[in-house]
Amino acid sequence: MLSFNYKDILSATIEQFMIPAERVAHVQVSNSLEHGLLLLTKSGYTALPVLDPHYKLYGLISLPMIFDSILGLQRIEFEKLDELTVSEVMNENIPRLRMYDSVQLGLDMLIDHPFVCVVNDEGIFEGIITRRAILLKVQELSNQYKD
């Protein structure tokens, strides 16, 4: 059983694990669905934050959301990619963290989400926290107890 001091992680704040906004790929809220699909595909991620030009966070857009919105009863309605905007398809009901929140709170949210967005008090996007960032820290601590 691991004996590292898990309080090292739990007493940290979200800020210490955050990938800052300037290093996070995102989609503009007014983009067409086609443009959103292009950005998602090029980024290699399955979901991205949706922002306005002032970095206000509106929600998340994912590949399954886009595909679901263009699925007709008989065929895939590709023309909808040009007709719909990201704002019409995105998920606005997403968890949000603040920089000063505890990693404990972040962990609770990361159970159900691969990443969680971090915003300031005005709802401006500050970055993301990912499962990977937490796991890297756990790995670093557990390596200290290897033979």
Span of 23-31, 70-78, 86-94, 116-124 interacting with ligand AMP by CB under 6 A: 23-31
Q: Record the tokens describing residue 53, joined without a space.
A: 């030009």
Q: Record the tokens describing residue 52, joined without a space.
A: 């306005």
Q: For residue 83, give the DSSP letter.
A: H
Nearest approach in angstroms of CB 137 to ligand AMP is 12
- Applying CB under 6 A, does 55 fall inside the site for ligand AMP? no
Span of 18-26, 76-84, 86-94, 98-106 interacting with ligand AMP by CB under 6 A: 18-26
Ranges within 79-98 binding ligand AMP (CB under 6 A)? none
- Nearest residue to 11 via CA among 115, 116, 101: 101
Nearest approach in angstroms of CB 120 to ligand AMP is 18
Strand order in the sheet with 125-130: 19-20, 125-130, 115-119, 96-97
Angstrom distance (rounded) from CA 38 to CA 9: 37
**Per-state percent for the chain, helix, strand, coil, to nearest 5:** 40, 25, 35
Span of 5-13, 63-71, 81-89, 127-135 interacting with ligand AMP by CB under 6 A: 127-135
Residue ranges that bind ligand AMP, judged by CB under 6 A: 19, 23-25, 45-48, 114-115, 128, 130-132
